[in-house]
A and B are shown apart, each in its own frame.
Chain A
């Protein structure tokens, strides 16, 4: 799979770190109730078909990218910088998952 980075062009999937659905961009305010945090962190539409999700060009330009793609065919329809979404809070994306950057690498061992 190749991912069309808006800055670098089409690049191998292995250069990207996957975060998850674009729900991560809708960060609740400080005094939001637990339900809002549950929505933000856990609950997902999880569509079989078109979705929007977040990829980090870890081994490239280090931009956060929002892909519009199909979870059944793996076709990618479009890509844009998270920082350029309407309503994004500036190029540093204060309202985005960037504040969390990258979570720890998956633990190894005995999952299956």
Chain B
């Protein structure tokens, strides 16, 4: 069924009785050409582009819970392309271009809003770093603009400019950055993949990966064995455990990241704002809630909830930056499990097992990567060649020393 304004209007006239489910609920078949482990944003996007770009439709996405129940439905939805290192910058640039056409592509309202992201700086040194980053973003072909303190004051007058501890010197804005409705991205890709013949199988946990003579043969699941010619591991925070089923040890440590949302308020924050002196970022959802977050809890964890010290720290950072939010009531806080790599960059690669592929290590920032990750993973699985913009996301780069350490914090998983 095609969605349109006209359809919404006519359905409204006739009691909304004509809507159909957005995807089927198929029983798993005994064999597929491709099985994708994980029905998050990246798994669903991979399935969609396998079908759309490469005509590979005998595909199943196996999800242990429900579609979109993982990080894709838990993040703070920031979409941007302001990376610095070659390897990262062209990939996120490609992703942002896909975002800009995503709604038309999927015939689905993902509420992609290019409201701009402002990263603040608070010292001369930070300004120099912002100029350098801005130039590299411009070189990659995307937009970046330096804002003076006066320009900022006109745009976002409610920041605390007067404080002496972290004075605000200015900001770097990317106007094409912004936010999107996270679950809608999962649903849009799910619907598009289903329409092209992909089986989306929920409540189906993969419990084993079958390997014979160095070739992948299929998977064991809670709904029985499924044979497959190719298998993709796209399990985000659970990547380590899924890879262990294939006898692999990954350069990944799983950590919990929290986020928070306030009660709905009238429109007040119309861009994404990132504090440069504490890790704090905030935007306002279309429902009116202020959505914000900060750093990891910093110790390895598989609990999908955080601890209080980081909650307190995030609130402190928010109050330092914009005291006006102090009276807003927090509605909810939650956590998601992040797959942290020792250089902070992701992995899209083959493994040493024939037919087994991996897409993992998305750290703090995998939501914005969703379209390009699916695009490049599908390309890799269909052609057995890395896509041009993802060719540095190699699994063996840690051994060979070709790290992509965007933050420059060294080989410690929780520092990226």
Residues on A facing B (Cβ under 8 Å): 1, 12-14, 18-21, 34-35, 37-39, 41-48, 51, 53, 55, 71-74, 103-104, 106-112
Contacts and interface: CB of A to CB of B under 8 A. Distances in A.
B240 A44 contact: yes
Interface in B400-414: 400-401, 407-414
Contact of B407 (A14, A71, A106): A106
A74 B301 contact: yes
Given A14-B309, A103-B409, A110-B119, A43 B249 contact: yes
Given A108-B275, A108-B277, A110-B82, A53 B240 contact: no
Contact of B398 (A41, A53, A103): A41
A109 B415 contact: no
A107 B78 CA distance: 18
Contacts of B240: 44-47
B299 A53 contact: yes
Contacts, number: 124
Given A13-B309, A108-B278, A53 B249 contact: no
A41 B279 contact: no
Interface in B93-140: 117, 119
B155 interface: no
11 contacts: A34-B401, A39-B249, A42-B342, A44-B253, A46-B241, A55-B299, A74-B303, A103-B412, A109-B279, A110-B119, A111-B364
B254 A46 contact: yes
Contacts of A44: 240, 249-253, 413
A28 to B, nearest CB: 13
B307 A46 contact: no
B300 A51 contact: yes
A48 B302 contact: yes
Given A38-B398, A44-B240, A71 B409 contact: no
Contact of B414 (A20, A37, A39, A104): A20
B43 interface: no
Contacts of A43: 249-251, 398
Given A43-B250, A104-B410, A111 B300 contact: no
A18 B412 CA distance: 10
Contacts of B407: 106-107, 111
A73 B303 contact: yes
Contacts of A12: 309
Contact of A42 (B276, B301, B398, B408): B398
A58 B278 CA distance: 20
Contact of B300 (A1, A14, A71, A107): A71
B409 A46 contact: no
Contacts of A39: 249
B182 interface: no
A67 B367 CA distance: 33
A81 B88 CA distance: 40
A104 B415 CA distance: 9
Contacts of B413: 20, 44
Contacts of A73: 303
B76 interface: yes
Contacts of B254: 46, 48, 71
Q: Which of A13, A37, A39, A71 gathers the greatest number of chain B CB atoms within 10 Å?
A: A71
